[in-house]
Amino acid sequence: MKYKVSLLLTLGLLLTASTGFAAVKYHSLTNGNGDVLFQEKPMTHTVSERTEDDDKRIRLMNNIWVDQIKPGEAAIIYIVPNNPNQELYLKANSHIIKSFTTLQKMVKVPGQPLAKKIAGKGKENYTFQKASVHMEHGMDLNKLSETEKQDIATRLLLEAQASGKDYALMPVPFTDEFWLTTLTYTSGKKEVALTILNSQDTGTVTSSYQDSLKITSHKIKINGQDVIQRKYDGGSSEFIWVYEDPKTKYAYRYMLRDAKGNISDEELLRIAKTMVPAGKK
């Protein structure tokens, strides 16, 4: 789970990073006890130790991931060439859900039900259209013993050799718990996206940002709760807040954004006010 959250934020923030024009300001969101649930930090760069063989193997693995694993499927990928250490890769593609009833069964945040419609300006409503949902994998490679991983690699290598292919796949089931979803709502030509990240019990979620992007970030209050507003050079905004389940202590990070760049900051803020839960007094 920690790997997936890290990958998500590192890749996603190449497009939705939060930096200042001159001096970068980073913010965090905490619970009532002062525990940091979400924080922003500058992106650090490390020297890659990947070899040319690593690059070839990973490039092939990514192609297999895109071409062979369908939406709503997960699998362990074994690549035959350039793989002396018999590396395994567990990859999945999100479920694409158009039924709100189905979505409700898959995405559950205790005490925070999903909305089929969200209020816009005046009598305008944004209606749910679709969602991408990533469910938790039913297997964690990091928790397997070296013997278990070796057994899987050997079995997949034999399968690849028997089929004459340079790869083999082993399907992996999902659990009934989601870890990431993005809901799309529309009103005419306007579209808003609501992303929910279930960080479970992995501790503080950290977003690392590229300093070169001209985006500002500041903290505001909505319904008595701290919310981070990111404002892009082009004018659009997005709002980030965190809800912590009082029973499980799982933290859910929400991000509301204008998906097509044609919604004013005022209207997006008005929508956010209907979604952000009231802060504790």
**CA angle in degrees (0–180, nearest 5) for 242-248-254:** 20
Q: Are strands 95-97 and 125-137 parallel, antiparallel or unpaired?
A: antiparallel
Tell me which DSSP letter residue 173 carries: -
Q: Which residue type does 277 have?
A: P
- pLDDT of 2 over the 70 cut: no
3-state DSSP assignment of residue 187: strand
- pLDDT of 213 over the 90 cut: no
Please give the average per-residue pLDDT across 140-161, as a whole number: 97
Q: Which of 126, 254, 143 is nearest to 191 (CA)?
A: 126
Q: What is the token pair recorded at 186?
A: 């529309």
- pLDDT of 3 over the 50 cut: no
- pLDDT of 23 over the 60 cut: no
Q: Give tens-digit pLDDT for 99-138.
A: 999 999 999 999 999 999 998 888 889 999 999 999 999 9
pLDDT at 281: 59
Tell me if the pTM is above 0.95. no
Q: Give tens-digit pLDDT for 34-89.
A: 999 998 887 777 778 899 999 999 999 999 999 999 999 999 999 999 999 999 99
Q: What is the token pair recorded at 39?
A: 């924080």
Cβ proximity of 251 and 244 under 8 Å = yes
Is pLDDT larger for residue 15 or for residue 136? 136
Tell me which DSSP letter residue 232 carries: E
